[in-house]
Structure 1
């Protein structure tokens, strides 16, 4: 159960991704063909491969990570705080920086990674992009040979399923039904590509990503039946 894990041992995270290229016509012929084949089932006859390329960011083979936001609890006596920071910029660099964080501060057996839908998206996406860039996997993402109960990952969506594996609940919906105040987001996931490639506003995306990390932590607190974080307990720190 969630209450058995000490909060300071958990690293909460979220990633934002975009297609690896700004537009379909920037892909080489082989990649265009592979994208058409990969996306065929999802787009069916409704969209051409080019029209569907805006959604390429959800596949690690055709997308890239533009930021990884993380949050963690610290305690001083009875006082707690939740610290937020973000790795962003060139993908290879941010992945290396994130790996260093894991290796230096969250590499103990007691440490756990937590994300909403993380087991289906964030954790494997990060691992695949690391492999693509020739970065060896940190222990917390290397699942080879691990038994299910040895995998150091928490997924708030999985916790909410209670064994119902066909049930999907968005982070926004889960926060709403649990009475968690909605963060003042001015974008949603469908807007990230345009904001990144057309408006060149990575800072806005980072803010959105950090708010999702905070919301994930709040959801986890509610699942533990613990008090939500107050505004003065949330601290933004430089990486």
Structure 2
């Protein structure tokens, strides 16, 4: 049961991704061909490969992580805080910093990682980009040989499915139906590419990513029937 999990054992996270190259024209001919093959089913006849390239950040083979935000609970007596921090900058650097955090503070057998739709997106994306960047996978992301019950991953969307494999619910919708105050975001996921490449405003993206981490933690609290975090309990470190 969720209530039996120690909140301090959970690392909540979210990532923001963009196409690895700013434009389709920057791809060499081989990569253009591979992109066309990779996205043929999704594009159908509605878009050309070039027109579809603004969505390249969705695929780890053609995208990159520009921000990885985490949050974790700290409990001391009756005082509860939720601390957030972000790794950003060059992808190899932020991935190594994240790995160091996992290995130093969340490597125990009871430690878990949690995100929204993270089993489908965030966790595999991070693992794939680590391999692409030549970074050895930390134990918490290395699933080779693990049985399903040995995988240290939680997913708030997965928990909401209750066995319904075809059910997709956005984080924003879950927050709304569970009565969680909507964070004041000035961008959404569809805008991240332009904010990064055209506006060069990484701070906006970091803020957006951290707000999603807080919302994910709030959703998890509601799934446990716990009291929601007050704004005064949330600390950026």
Superposition TM-score tier, normalisation by shorter sequence? over 0.9
Distance 1:173 1:69 in 2: 21
* 1:145 is aligned to 2:145: yes
**Other structure's SS at 1:74 match:** strand
Find the aligned partners of 2:10 and 2:172 in 1 and give their Cα distance: 21
TM-score (structure 1 length as normaliser): 0.99
Shift of 1:2: 1.3
- Work out whether 1:99 is the aligned partner of 2:99: yes
Quick one: distance in 1 between partners of 2:115 and 2:75? 21
TM-score (norm 2): 1.00
1:51 aligns with 2:51: yes
Deviating above 2 A after TM superposition, structure 1's stretches of 4 or more consecutive aligned residues are none
Partner of 1:76: 76
Does 1:155 find its partner at 2:142?
Answer: no
SS of alignment partner, residue 17 of structure 2? strand
- What is the 5 A alignment of 1:3-82? 3-82=3-82
How many residue pairs get aligned? The number is 237
Residue 83 (structure 2) pairs with residue 117 (structure 1): no
| Cα offsets for 1:6-29 (capped at 9, x unmatched) | 000000000000000000000111
Unaligned runs of 5+ in 1: none
Task: State the match for 1:225 in structure 2.
Answer: 225
| Residue in structure 2 matched with residue 90 of structure 1 by the alignment | 90
Specify the alignment match of 2:210 in structure 1: 210
- Counterpart of 1:183? 183
Gaps of at least 5 residues in structure 2 are none
